[in-house]
Structure 1
């Protein structure tokens, strides 16, 4: 199986969601980050996943500036691999692993190569010959309805039906918008909320993180 983790924006909780899914699927899982930017500014996403889960990881492209991958590459005059190459490498990993989890960069339509290829293109290409599940990680607060519906509609335009919505960082205390959006998100998108990760989950020690994953992903298929 190939799982794609995308988000409505940057900083919504994709990396922690990716780690949680890796724990859920267990041995035989590899996590792939096709493009990582901002190397040297923060702990790389793939390192966060490896620390929290202990699972096998792979990173295809590393770029210095904390920008969208194609912007970071063009700024430095770097040629980065096309989506077709990423797709081929992921297919090969799927031959030797039970589950491949792919974490995107930023939102669904962020360019991952110099030719305008996106995570949407990668997912659609993989879905031609593999079982692909796509999870959309989103915020629960004000503004999330528009961003989430746009992302879901973009996936459906590629014949990709999301497997579920994941709330990436749910605060301990919910305000009016958060309370309403728990019902509004599935209503406006037609996609169920299948997981809710508490704010700060990525800061837990690995043992506690792994112990609590099942409670966060209780409705995840």
Structure 2
């Protein structure tokens, strides 16, 4: 895969840390990596954004590019409109990713919020950019209660657009998972229609870069170049059978 679109079932769900982990593993394998952020919201000009966090965690030998930045923490179309700045359109995202792919082994396109958050007043979304690119989408999901519904809705939206889902990945696996989180290990693949491809531990984003890069392969499945195994993870974390 030359381009992977990283989206999620909501905001503040672990997309940036997931992007950094995938980038770190690819870099360790000798691949050149670029990270594209189509629309950075809620960050003032000159302040560090998501791509700077990816650089901190994954290492400095990355190409990073933002297409637009808006100061208010809103959906990109609204944030652009309120700031008086130009909106980003799916074709621009696809063109930028294609240009980066011509010079890199892997391009990671990190979205803002969920899959169908609007980029522009025409209703363009990250899903539209993925369709234009013919790129798979890595869907970052939450671990606990409510995740099954949002995961199923995201999978349905991808299928309706003819976009392949690379798989769901838990963006923040709790140190002490509750019953819903543990049960979801079996049910998330059913709702996504594809197996889990990783689980990043809670607090991984607070690690320094060296420790983050050393551990990243253990959080990602073979589809993403890692060593994480869904079966053994579920056997260790999932609840036992209830006896009535």
Q: Give the TM-score range, shorter chain.
A: over 0.9
Counterpart Cα distance in 2 of 1:140 and 1:93: 32
Over 3 Å counting, the alpha-carbon distance change for 1:28 and 1:219 in structure 2 is closer
Over 3 Å counting, the alpha-carbon distance change for 1:76 and 1:197 in structure 2 is same
Any runs of at least 4 consecutive aligned residues in structure 1 with deviations exceeding 2 A, and if so which?
A: 40-43, 76-79, 218-221
Counterpart Cα distance in 2 of 1:210 and 1:164: 22
Counterpart Cα distance in 2 of 1:44 and 1:6: 17
- Indicate conservation of the 8 Å contact 1:135/1:166, yes or no: yes
- Residue of structure 1 equivalent to 2:18: 17
TM-score by length of 2: 0.85
3-state SS in 1 of match to 2:136: strand
Once the two structures are TM-superposed, the CA of residue 218 in structure 1 deviates from its matched residue by 3.4
- Residue of structure 1 equivalent to 2:238: none
- Indicate conservation of the 8 Å contact 1:79/1:114, yes or no: no
- Residue of structure 1 equivalent to 2:49: 44
TM-score by length of 1: 0.94
- The partner residue of 2:184 within 181, 191, 195 is 181
Q: How far does the alpha carbon of each residue in 1:161-180 deviate from its partner, in whole angstroms, 9 at most, with x for none?
A: 21111000011111110110
Counterpart Cα distance in 1 of 2:201 and 2:19: 14
RMSD of Structure 2 on Structure 1 (CA): 1.5
- Residue of structure 1 equivalent to 2:35: 31
- Residue of structure 1 equivalent to 2:77: 70
Once the two structures are TM-superposed, the CA of residue 84 in structure 1 deviates from its matched residue by 1.3
- Indicate conservation of the 8 Å contact 2:148/2:187, yes or no: yes
3-state SS in 1 of match to 2:133: helix
- Residue of structure 2 equivalent to 1:120: 127
- Residue of structure 2 equivalent to 1:5: 6
- The partner residue of 1:90 within 89, 97, 113 is 97
Deviates more, 1:34-43 or 1:208-217: 34-43
Deviates more, 1:72-81 or 1:19-28: 72-81
Q: Which has the larger radius of gyration?
A: 2
Gapped runs of 5+ residues in structure 2? Answer: 225-244
Q: How far does the alpha carbon of each residue in 1:15-58 deviate from its partner, in whole angstroms, 9 at most, with x for none?
A: 00000010111141101000000113984111110111122211
Gapped runs of 5+ residues in structure 1? Answer: none
Once the two structures are TM-superposed, the CA of residue 10 in structure 1 deviates from its matched residue by 0.2
Counterpart Cα distance in 2 of 1:217 and 1:65: 32
Counterpart Cα distance in 1 of 2:71 and 2:222: 37
3-state SS in 1 of match to 2:130: helix
Counterpart Cα distance in 1 of 2:89 and 2:192: 31
- Indicate conservation of the 8 Å contact 1:32/1:101, yes or no: yes
3-state SS in 2 of match to 1:34: strand
Give the paired residue count: 217
